Structure formats: C-alpha cells, structure tokens
Amino acid sequence: MKRKQYTNTILMVEPVNFNYNPQTAVNNYFQQEANDEADAIQQEALTEFRTMVSTLRSKGIQVLTIQDTPIPHTPDSIFPNNWISFHEDGTVVLYPMYAENRRQERREEEVLSFLEEKGFNITDVLDFTTAEEEEIFLEGTGSIILDRENDIAYAAISQRTDEELFIEFCEELEYTPVIFTANQTVNGERLPIYHTNVMMCIADQYAIICLSTIDDKKERKNVVENLKDYGKEIIAISEEQMHQFAGNMLQVGGMGQSYLVMSQTAYDSLTEDQKSAIEKYNPILPVKIDTIEKLGGGSARCMMAEVFLPKI
C-alpha cells in the first residue's frame, strides 16, 4: 500500500505551564530565555495555541486536542511530535528523549485510548524509549523527516538523533535511510542542528531545505539527488531564514486541498519568489506563535503530531 504524504488529522497538546526549558537549551540554539512572569508566558502561549487551532480548523483540518497536566511540570508538552508518531498501518512509535523533563510528556495510554475513542485503529506499539538508559535518543518527527510516498527517511545526526537507532526505525517501518550532518553557526562555531525538522520540510511535490547547513559536499549532493530522483522541487532557504523557522513547516490536508502550515515569523522571512514557488502547489497557512517559538525553540511543525492511523 502506497503511503500518503500528508494527513488531514493532527493531534495537538494544549499547554498548562508552557515556559523556557533549560534542559533543552543545552543544544537547542533557537531558544531564547524569558523575561516575563510564568503566568503571563503561559497565557500568551495558550492564546497562540488556541488561535492556531481555530485557524487550522477553519480550513477543514481536523485538529484533535488534549490538555497537558500541571503535574509533572512539562514546559515543552506543546511539541508532541518528538515523543510519538502514528502510521498508516496502525503502528504507533514511542521515542527516546534527550531532556529528562521531556520524557514525562509521554502519556501514551491516555493518548491511545483517546484516539481509539475517536475511531482510530491501533494495531502495534513500537517502543524505543528504553534507549534512554544508554543515553541514545531519537526524537520522533523532529529527528526524522519522512518522504512517505517514496519510503525515504532523512535524518541529520546530532545528540538527539542517533544514527543506529534511526536505521533500526527505518528497518522496522520499511524506509530507506538518508543520513547526513547539518550544522549552524553559533558564536562563530559550527555546531550540530538539534532537529532535522528545523532545516528541512518535505511535501508531496516539493521540499524546503537549508542546504548550506550540510557542510559535507558529498552528503549535500546525496540529499539533493534523493529529493530530485523522487520528483521533489527543491526550494532552498538560507541559514538566516532557517533561524526564523522557515524550515519548520508541515503540509496538512484541509477542505479539498492541502496547506503548508508555518509560523508568521517563517512566512515573513520568505522572499516573494519562495512564496510563489510554494503557492504553485498549495496555499500557505501562517500562524502567529511568537512566544512559543522564542521560548520553546520550536515552531509550527513541532506542535503538530500527524495522525495517519486507519479508522476502525
């Protein structure tokens, strides 16, 4: 069965205590520390979250939401795509997380029963979380970018994306791995980008990618050849645009068509030519999530866990 590249159903987690997470800031160079009081930050994030949900639903995108719990305190619960993914054959995958306080976001029993109540069929749970005991991590569709229709999986290796575990994921779910290293300049030093999905997005007919982050020419050539071989138009973004979250986008299905969801920050960073290149294929749907981006170091794509599960 040929897999679909995008779905019209996504799961989102409504925050109760969103804030800057020092445990993730160790190697997420997109995060910025907070100045406001915790209550004000949470209120801003909640408003941004709810506005985004309303915007998506207005286009016919099915958004399923669950609410975070106050205890344990999980400041990054708004980014569920890092700990769980849902696949067309009924498989659910659970992932090992780098930050200890992020591991507490996993509420798989609650999430799975919620989805079953909504009529989704779960046939298997693939659990990689024991890898945390060996300090091995693979953070879901933050680490892994899937070309689902062509059975190709891309990953930029980092502290949060282990090469061997990525290959194991590919073997289990029958994807061909494309492995590379992506770096960003931090205080004059080239350091690994924490998640592949901040520098790369794959849609059904195109790919948005910051090629300049792939310093190794052979690796860059391999990535480009794979994208072109499978018919993707490459829309290149700069490292400066990547820092405005222009790589952190997701194609989702709406009423009769697909949309590319991105933050307003990402949208504002794009040139008119880049916008036109995307809009040849689908409309752009920008959402304003400034507080979430600045403190969380993640953007629109990170907030959406795609639900590809079959219906019962």
Report the run of H or E that residue 213 belongs to, with start and end: none
- Respond yes or no on whether the N-terminal peptide bond of residue 72 is cis (omega within 30° of 0): yes
Note whether residue 26 is domain-resident: yes
Structural domain includes residue 190: yes
Of 81 and 297, more confident: 81
Range 66-71 contact pairs with CB under 8 angstroms and sequence separation of 24 or more: 66/11, 66/13, 66/14, 66/107, 66/110, 66/111, 66/114, 67/13, 67/14, 67/16, 68/13, 68/14, 68/15, 68/16, 68/17, 68/105, 69/16, 69/107, 70/16, 70/17
* pLDDT digits 0-9 by tens, 178-224: 999 999 998 899 999 999 999 999 999 999 999 999 999 999 999 99
Task: Tell me the C-alpha distance between 103 and 214, whole Å.
Answer: 29
Q: Is residue 33 part of a domain?
A: yes
Residue 24, φ and ψ in degrees, nearest 5: -90, -25
Q: Which domain holds residue 77?
A: 9-306
- Give the type of residue at 297: G
Q: For the chain, what is the domain count?
A: 1
Model pLDDT for residues 45-78, shown as the tens digit of each residue: 999 999 999 999 999 999 999 999 888 888 889 9
19's CB contacts (< 8 A; 6+ apart) are 34, 38, 41, 42, 75, 295
Q: Which CATH number is 296's domain given?
A: 3.75.10.10
Domain-located, residue 55 = yes
pLDDT over 70 percentage in the chain: 94
Torsions phi, psi for 252 (to 5 deg): -135, 155
Looking at the domain assignment, is residue 137 inside a domain?
Answer: yes
Whether 2 is in a domain gets the answer: no
Within-domain flag for 311? no
Confirm whether 1 is domain-assigned. Answer: no
User: C-alpha distances in angstroms, 247 versus 5, 44, 171, 281?
Assistant: 17, 24, 26, 17
Model pTM score: 0.95
